[in-house]
Structure 1
Amino acid sequence: MILYLHGFRSSPSSYKAQVLAKAVAEKGWQDQWVCPQLPESPAAAIALCNQLIQEANLTDPATDLRIIGSSLGGYYAHVLAEQWGCKALLLNPAVHAPRDLATQVGEHRYYHSDVPFVFHANYIDELTAMQPSATTQPQRYYLIAASGDEVLNYQEMLHTFSGSQGFLIFGSDHGISDFDLYLSPVLHFIAPSIGS
Structure 2
Amino acid sequence: MIIYLHGFRSGPASSKIQELAGHMKARGLADQLWCEQLSPVPFEAIAQAEAAIAACATPPTLVGSSLGGFYATHLAEKHDLRAVLVNPAVFRDGYDPSPFVGEHEHLYTGERFSFTWEHVEQAEALRVERISHPQNFWLMVEEGDEVLDARLSIAHFAGARQTVLPGGDHGFSRWTEYLDEVLRFAGLI
TM-score range, shorter chain: over 0.9
1:95 alignment counterpart:
90
- Deviation of 1:2 after TM superposition, in Å, equals 0.7
Trace 1:153-164 onto structure 2 (pairs within 5 A).
153-164=149-160
- Deviation of 1:37 after TM superposition, in Å, equals 0.5
Trace 1:105-116 onto structure 2 (pairs within 5 A).
105-116=101-112
- Determine whether 1:28 maps to 2:31: no
Alpha-carbon distance change, 14 to 101 in structure 1, aligned in 2, over 3 angstroms: farther
Letter aligned with residue 76 of structure 2:
A
Do the aligned residues in 2 keep the contact of 1:97 with 1:127 (CA within 8 Å)?
A: no
2:179 to 162, 170, 183: 183
- Determine whether 1:80 maps to 2:85: no
Trace 1:1-196 onto structure 2 (pairs within 5 A).
1-56=1-56, 58-59=57-58, 61=59, 65-96=60-91, 99=95, 101-190=97-186, 192=187, 194=188, 196=189
5+ residue gaps in structure 2?
A: none
- Deviation of 1:78 after TM superposition, in Å, equals 0.1
- Deviation of 1:85 after TM superposition, in Å, equals 0.2
- Deviation of 1:183 after TM superposition, in Å, equals 2.1
Between the aligned partners of 1:111 and 1:97, the Cα distance in structure 2 is 26
Secondary structure of 2:113's aligned partner: strand
Letter aligned with residue 10 of structure 1:
S
- Percent identity of the aligned residues? 39
C-alpha root-mean-square deviation of aligned residues, in Å? 1.5
Do the aligned residues in 2 keep the contact of 1:72 with 1:97 (CA within 8 Å)?
A: no
Letter aligned with residue 179 of structure 1:
W
Between the aligned partners of 1:166 and 1:181, the Cα distance in structure 2 is 15
TM-score of the pair, normalised by structure 2: 0.94
Between the aligned partners of 2:159 and 2:139, the Cα distance in structure 1 is 10
TM-score of the pair, normalised by structure 1: 0.91
Give structure 1 regions of 4+ aligned residues with deviation exceeding 6 angstroms. none
Between the aligned partners of 2:126 and 2:73, the Cα distance in structure 1 is 10
- Superposed CA offset, 1:41-60 (max 9, x none): 0000001111111122x24x
Do the aligned residues in 2 keep the contact of 1:75 with 1:97 (CA within 8 Å)?
A: no
Between the aligned partners of 1:136 and 1:71, the Cα distance in structure 2 is 20
